[in-house]
């Protein structure tokens, strides 16, 4: 959900972000029975969200590594970091919450007694504004935003081990993950919770991947990287519940939703290998469609569900309505990206400071 680091990694990571949001949308298309594709994708939404978490931790940690201790941990740099994170995530999130509250209060009677995309009382709106709750897909935003406050500590710990301290990074990460798994096991996870502690291990794995990518380049082995990435991709495809049920044994749609560490490790390894891969994999991840989908992924993620709900209400169980819904989601997300996300991303703290000084200067 974040901007990618500069340089050769940009397109690949945007493509991965596109894959992440595709898994969420495909899962909801299947759950609403409007999936235009022959494969049932129900139950893979959390897989995509965990990829978003790994990517966020990777991208932001990598940026800390690029700046170094002296460049990343000054007061202005940290202030700019928090400013950009808030500006990147909160405005569109708050807008969706506001729409939920307005439609619930004034238009619920015309919407079948429900708000759009979610029914939300005033108390629930306030709780969402304070990042204490998260209905539907909104749950991941409070989780990720809370992580932003811990990221400088995690990135700083990896930076302090030095350029060749990958072994210590692994030890630190594994130790922290073990403690988190002991105190906050996935078996106790309530899906939809905004409690960061249950998901922190996923972010830590993403940050560790950034440390390894920065300190241990794999550029000289593109064929090995490609082979390993395709192998991981095959394993990830096998975790689609309908495919797993057909190949191994029947499982319910939500069978892998609490497999946080499994997905985090698989996605982190895939990400690392994808950075150095060649051939079809690189062509796929840098394709114009996936890269564009990755750039608008945050808008797609937050705005797709109301469109899918409306289309489902119009023609429940229809495959063609699912295809139409997907096109409408892309159009709406593109408009949101161009009118909201991209303009906000260009605002810097110095611009705000300059505007605040104008009245006094006059």
Q: Above 90 in pLDDT, residue 357?
A: no
Taking the C-alpha atoms of residue 115 and residue 104, their distance in angstroms, rounded to an integer, is: 4
Task: Kindly report the pTM of this predicted structure.
Answer: 0.92
Closest C-alpha to 308, from 296, 320, 326: 326
Of 7-21, 27-41, 127-141, 249-263, give the lowest mean pLDDT range.
7-21
Q: Who's near 341: CB < 8 A, 6+ residues apart?
A: 88, 92, 296, 298, 299
User: For residues 180, 184, 187 and 192, what is the CA-based torsion angle, rounded to 10 degrees?
Assistant: -110
Cα angle for residues 165, 169, 175 (degrees, 5° grid): 145
Query: With left for phi above 0 and alpha for psi between -120 and 50, is residue 146 left, alpha or beta?
Result: alpha
Tell me what the mean pLDDT of segment 211-219 comes to: 85
The confidence score (pLDDT) of residue 136 equals 92
What count of other Cβ atoms lies within 10 Å of the Cβ of residue 11?
Answer: 17
- 3 has pLDDT over 70: no
pLDDT band at 362 (very low <50, low <70, confident <90, very high): very low
Average pLDDT, the chain: 90
When computed from its CA atoms, the radius of gyration of the chain, rounded to whole angstroms, is 21
Q: CA quadruple 256, 268, 138, 176: dihedral positive or negative?
A: positive
CA distance 287 to 115: 37
Check residue 351 and give its pLDDT: 58
Give the alpha-carbon dihedral of 324, 329, 334, 337, to 10 degrees: 180
DSSP 8-class letter at 109: G
Q: Cβ distance 105 to 161 under 8 Å? A: no
Percent of the residues in the chain that have a pLDDT greater than 90, as a whole number: 72
pLDDT > 70 in the chain, percent: 92
Question: Distance between CA atoms of 201 and 189, rounded to whole angstroms?
Answer: 13
Cα gap 257→41, rounded to integer Å: 13
Lowest mean pLDDT among 145-149, 304-308, 345-349: 345-349
Beta strands in 138-257 (DSSP E): none
Task: Kindly report, residue by residue over 152-203, the tens digit of the pLDDT.
Answer: 999 999 998 887 779 999 999 999 999 999 999 998 999 889 999 999 999 9
Give the pLDDT band (50/70/90) at residue 11. confident
């Amino acid at each position: 959900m974040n901007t990618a680091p500069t340089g050769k990694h940009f397109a690949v990571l945007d493509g991965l972000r596109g894959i992440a949001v595709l898994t969420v949308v495909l899962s909801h298309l299947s759950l609403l029975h409007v999936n235009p594709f022959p494969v049932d994708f129900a139950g893979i939404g959390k897989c995509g969200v965990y990829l978003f978490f790994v990517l966020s931790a990777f991208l932001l940690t990598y940026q800390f590594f690029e700046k170094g201790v002296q460049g990343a941990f000054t007061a202005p740099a940290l202030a700019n970091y928090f400013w950009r994170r808030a500006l990147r995530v909160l405005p569109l999130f708050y807008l969706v919450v506001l729409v939920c509250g307005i439609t619930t209060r004034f238009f619920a009677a015309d919407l079948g007694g429900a708000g759009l995309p979610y029914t939300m009382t005033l108390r629930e709106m306030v709780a969402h504004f304070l990042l204490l709750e998260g209905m539907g897909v909104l749950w991941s935003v409070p989780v990720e935003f809370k992580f932003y406050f811990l990221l400088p500590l995690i990135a700083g710990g990896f930076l302090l081990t030095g350029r060749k301290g990958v072994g210590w990074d692994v030890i630190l990460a594994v130790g922290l993950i073990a403690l988190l798994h002991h105190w906050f096991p996935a078996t106790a996870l309530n899906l939809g919770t905004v409690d960061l502690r249950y998901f922190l291990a996923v972010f830590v794995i993403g940050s560790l991947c950034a440390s390894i990518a920065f300190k241990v380049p794999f550029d000289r082995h593109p064929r090995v990287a490609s082979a390993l990435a395709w192998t991981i991709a095959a394993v990830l495809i096998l975790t689609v519940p309908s495919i797993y049920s057909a190949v191994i044994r029947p499982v319910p749609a939500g069978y892998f939703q609490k497999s946080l560490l499994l997905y985090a490790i698989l996605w982190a390894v895939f990400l690392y290998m994808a950075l150095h891969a060649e051939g079809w994999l690189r062509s796929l991840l840098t394709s114009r469609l996936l890269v564009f989908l990755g750039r608008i992924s945050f808008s797609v993620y937050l705005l797709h569900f109301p469109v899918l709900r409306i289309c489902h209400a119009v023609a429940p169980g229809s495959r063609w309505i699912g295809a139409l819904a997907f096109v409408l989601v892309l159009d709406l997300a593109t408009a949101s990206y161009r009118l909201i996300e991209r303009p906000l991303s260009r605002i810097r703290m110095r611009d705000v400071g300059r505007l605040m000084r104008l009245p006094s200067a006059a």
